[in-house]
């Protein structure tokens, strides 16, 4: 094999050119006489793929070395390149293993057609590709069953399943140009243009240090996302408070304070006019105050969980009370914003302060007894390492958190974009929700470590008196407020059965609602689209399954149901405020404000 050039673009061009040549030869080859859809039919194919894997690894090594040499400093993309090199090595090991191992692939035929990665006609019409996909699925099944047979406790087995699934997903033939017939066919049909586009997209993502999932140039915060009119009336080191402009002549006397997650930007609640949760609440007559968290840097790296509660949630509540003139407010928290709000409600209860009328918690963990696959990544050793590194100061980078969340659904959030962008040269389409998902934020180290230890690892928030927050012991049973608890049935970040437990932790009357779909799509489900469904009025029970058995399914969005519930706690109608803020909280700038504009990249 010729030595790779030291110019990355030339090396990419050479690699793809050689790959096309191999593909042309294989496209003209005929399967052995009498060959059936077994591993044997794919052996010549696998041999060529191993050659291509060798070339791929050589390019990755040369590119990393060339980049370091050119800059005279450590390669800034070294972690990215190392991961890509490991991917190439895993592919090669998988290909070697498939050649040597004999599977009963006939039973895998149905799986190959049901798996969307191999559902295309190109995977079925050539017996070599059909054999490869079947062999891969059989190999994957073999590895999964091997994990199930290991004599370890269930948590260790679940951790092993997660790790094995990551490796299996990465090794899929669909992720590899020469073993992806759809990519190869497209390259031939376009005369290699798809490969050229793929190179361009790869270099774009390489520069950003992440795989893009949407056309980020199509969106701009304040222009076509996060556009609901309003004003920033307060800011501190941690957050800004936005007061939204009323669209009704009268409003409810008690305002609504929204606490979004601090892991991403607030505009998940204000995407575009037709799917804005904020705009919907304003249209119902609520005066909405919203926290816009700062994308923290090293300067804010010493902020603690107490700071987020005191200088974030509790400060926003006091500002809404002062501006509206209402002694009490309704409050809503989403995801970790809900955990912060629940903690703040516990602080208020411990101090015998009655500033809240109701709580709405969307996909929120208060009890961390079962946290899905995220919890599998949290161990005593990993938390200690975090605490040693950033527990007293520093940041948990947005890119790292983004990768962790994407890895929970790697085929959907990583590999499909690798295949479509790099192998097929198809830039991802514009999608507001995925744009928001990519616009993640850093967290302060002490705050993140508190959540990891006291939530995910030791689950202390649920235990009365176990935690001191803002110098008071917490007992969620003292939060005797009406609460609206929403969970999503397919949520892989906040499992709905765990979110259900909050119903029994809080001391007030709780209404539990279960929506269809996942962590974000289930929440952002505007009524006008008439999509999905939700479940209410389940059997009064301690266990989630028993509640669900008696629940009633309602078609469409859960937003109107919540609006009716909230109206009962919002007080009388009063004239809408003529201007935002007051003499103590003057307008600083228009919404969405400066803080949301700061990028983590």
Q: Which residues are catalytic?
A: 335
What single DSSP character describes residue 268? G
| Residue positions counted in the chain | 601
Cβ atoms 56, 87 nearer than 8 A:
no
- What distance in Å separates the CA atoms of residue 248 and residue 251, rounded to the nearest whole number? 7
Mode of pairing for the β-strands spanning 356-362 and 483-488: parallel
Q: Which of 484, 486, 480 is nearest to 507 (CA)?
A: 480
Residue 230 phi, psi (nearest 5):
180, -175
- What distance in Å separates the CA atoms of residue 84 and residue 489, rounded to the nearest whole number? 34
Where residue 72 falls (left for φ over 0; alpha for ψ -120 to 50; beta otherwise) is left
CA 581 to chain centre: 34
For 174, residues 6+ apart whose C-beta sits below 8 A from its C-beta are: 117, 118, 180, 415, 419
Mode of pairing for the β-strands spanning 256-259 and 589-590: unpaired
Residue 103 phi, psi (nearest 5):
-110, 160
Mode of pairing for the β-strands spanning 239-244 and 288-293: antiparallel
- What distance in Å separates the CA atoms of residue 419 and residue 558, rounded to the nearest whole number? 35
Residue 105, CA distances (Å) to 108, 148, 164 in order: 5, 20, 20
User: Alpha helices of 150-302 — where are they, by DSSP H?
Assistant: 154-170, 181-189, 193-208, 277-283
- What distance in Å separates the CA atoms of residue 403 and residue 232, rounded to the nearest whole number? 32
Handedness of CA 210, 261, 361, 342 (dihedral sign): positive
Give DSSP secondary structure letters for 32-80: PTT--SSGGGGHHHHHHHHHHHHHHHHHHHHHHHHHHHHHTS--TTHHH
Residue 7, CA distances (Å) to 3, 60, 67, 68, 81 in order: 12, 12, 9, 12, 15
User: Alpha helices of 284-329 — where are they, by DSSP H?
Assistant: 305-307, 315-324
The enclosing H or E element of 485 equals strand 483-488
Q: Which of 324, 323, 219, 305 is nearest to 268 (CA)?
A: 219
Residue 31 phi, psi (nearest 5):
-65, 150
């Amino acid at each position: 094999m010729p030595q790779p050039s030291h110019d990355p673009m030339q090396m990419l061009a050479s690699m793809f050119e050689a790959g096309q040549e191999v593909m042309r030869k294989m496209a003209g080859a005929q399967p052995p006489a009498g060959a059936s859809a077994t591993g044997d039919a794919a052996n010549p194919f696998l041999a060529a793929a191993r050659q291509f894997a060798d070339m791929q690894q050589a390019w990755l090594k040369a590119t990393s070395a060339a980049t370091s040499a050119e800059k005279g400093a450590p390669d800034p993309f070294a972690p990215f390149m190392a991961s890509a090199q490991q991917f190439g090595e895993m592919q090669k090991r998988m290909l070697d293993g498939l050649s040597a191992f004999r599977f009963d692939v006939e039973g895998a035929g149905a799986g190959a057609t049901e798996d969307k990665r191999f559902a295309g006609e190109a995977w079925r019409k050539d017996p070599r590709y059909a054999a490869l996909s079947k062999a891969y699925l059989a190999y994957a099944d073999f590895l999964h069953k091997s994990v199930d047979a290991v004599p370890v406790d269930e948590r260790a087995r679940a951790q092993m399943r997660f790790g094995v699934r990551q490796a299996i997903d990465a090794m899929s033939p669909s992720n590899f140009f020469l073993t992806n017939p759809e990519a190869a066919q497209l390259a031939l049909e376009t005369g290699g243009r798809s490969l050229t586009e793929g190179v361009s997209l790869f270099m774009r993502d390489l520069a950003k240090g992440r795989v893009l999932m949407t056309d980020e140039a199509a969106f701009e915060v304040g222009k076509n996302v996060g556009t609901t009119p309003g004003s920033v009336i307060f800011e501190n080191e941690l957050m800004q408070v936005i007061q939204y402009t009323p669209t009704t002549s009268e409003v409810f006397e008690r305002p609504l304070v929204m606490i979004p997650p601090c892991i991403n930007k607030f505009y998940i609640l204000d995407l575009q006019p037709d799917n804005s949760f904020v705009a919907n609440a304003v249209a119902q007559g609520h005066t909405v105050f919203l926290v816009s968290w700062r994308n923290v840097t090293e300067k804010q790296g010493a902020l603690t969980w107490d700071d987020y509660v005191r200088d974030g949630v509790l400060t926003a509540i006091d500002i809404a009370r002062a501006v509206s003139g209402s002694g009490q407010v309704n409050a809503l928290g989403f995801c970790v914003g809900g955990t912060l709000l629940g903690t703040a409600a516990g602080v208020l209860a411990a101090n015998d302060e009655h500033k809240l009328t109701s709580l709405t918690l969307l996909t929120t963990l208060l009890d961390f007894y079962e946290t899905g696959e995220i919890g599998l990544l949290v161990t005593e050793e990993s938390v200690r390492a975090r605490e040693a590194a950033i527990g007293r100061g520093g940041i948990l980078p947005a890119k790292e958190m983004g990768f962790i969340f994407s890895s929970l659904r790697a085929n959907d959030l990583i590999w499909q974009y690798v295949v479509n962008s790099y192998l097929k040269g198809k830039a991802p389409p514009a999608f507001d929700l995925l744009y928001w998902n990519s616009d993640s934020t850093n967290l302060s180290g002490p705050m993140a470590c508190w959540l990891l230890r006291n939530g995910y690892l030791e689950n202390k928030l649920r235990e009365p008196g176990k935690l001191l927050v803002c110098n008071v012991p917490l007992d969620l049973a003292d939060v005797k407020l009406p609460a609206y608890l929403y969970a999503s049935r397919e949520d892989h970040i906040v499992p709905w059965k765990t979110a259900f437990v909050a119903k029994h932790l809080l001391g007030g009357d709780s209404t539990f609602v279960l929506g269809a779909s996942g962590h974000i799509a289930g929440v952002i489900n505007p009524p006008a689209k008439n999509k999905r469904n939700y479940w209410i009025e389940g059997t009064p029970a301690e266990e989630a399954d028993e509640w669900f058995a008696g629940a009633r399914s309602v078609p469409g969005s859960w937003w109107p149901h919540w609006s009716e519930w909230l109206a009962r706690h919002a007080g009388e109608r009063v004239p809408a405020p003529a201007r935002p803020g007051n003499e103590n909280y003057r307008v600083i700038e228009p919404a969405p404000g400066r803080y949301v504009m700061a990028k983590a990249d």
